[in-house]
Structure 1
């Protein structure tokens, strides 16, 4: 609460015109936020590259020339249109650095994006290599596992000979092997 009162008092003191606001040097005056300048430069550069801008500029030039050629009483820039050329030169003088600034910012964004892509690609490669190693180890482990046929043969071998179920399983396996041999036999 006391901090709020102090902040309000400081704000009121800043608004008083009879109090000196402090001196600012020229260097402090020129201390701009480069991101803000770059942001607005990009907006201007994007606008300068649109058909809307070209249409507006064309309309302004046609009106300018019409006023200076047709309406004699309103002439402010006679035929060589020196003022119009000056306006175009000034526009070009500001447009070129703004476009370059926008391109530099885009280049910086592209560099960051490339670094992120490289990091993502490296992570993807590491993940892929890990999964390949895991898959290879699973293949090796599966190769060492006992198969269903192996287990059933071992059970049949260990089962007593008078067991009917074992005899039926044995006949069924024998029939399957014969069927597979017939299917695999050359014609």
Structure 2
């Protein structure tokens, strides 16, 4: 039974191309989507309510809980809570800026597409206006149904006059 050739011995694939053992780094787009979802989550009322509840529970537990179980002293101003909130804020600001930059890029692309679409619509409208004018000019040179009927009537009358004379 023949074994399948290794990737290196295949002639239709470049030598040395292998799947990486570890996953590739996340793409910029995936990272951007993740940061946008985090920033969107931080901008919700539920996040603010949850953060407020965590802070209240933290402060109540460290103020009235058993002395030996407290881990952040109220006497020194809840230092650990302050550090955690500062860390959260230091990450929140860049995430929000990244999300805003991505939104600005999307808006810029959308505006460019709208501008191009408006230019195409204007060009199409001008073309159609020129065509309508051309058709109107051509129709003025063309005989109308009423004109043809009148001409036929006058010819018939002339023919009848000629017959009557003969």
TM interval, shorter chain, is 0.7 to 0.9
TM-score under structure 1 length normalisation: 0.69
Unaligned runs of 5+ in 1: 16-20, 22-28, 163-187
Residue from 124, 130, 133 that aligns with 1:133: 130
1:91 is the counterpart of 2:85: no
Tell me which residue corresponds to 2:6: 6
Tell me which residue corresponds to 2:103: 106
Q: State how 1:37-186 maps to structure 2 within 5 Å.
A: 37-73=31-67, 74-79=69-74, 80-159=77-156, 160-161=159-160
Q: CA RMSD in A?
A: 2.6
Higher Cα radius of gyration: 1
Unaligned runs of 5+ in 2: 8-15, 162-166
SS of equivalent residue, structure 2 residue 151? helix
State the number of aligned residues. 143
Shift of 1:4: 5.8
Moved segments of 4+, more than 4 Å: 2-5
Distance 1:34 1:4 in 2: 37
Greater helix share, 1 or 2? 1
Distance 2:105 2:4 in 1: 42
TM-score under structure 2 length normalisation: 0.77
Q: 1:85 to 1:113 in 2, by over 3 A?
A: same
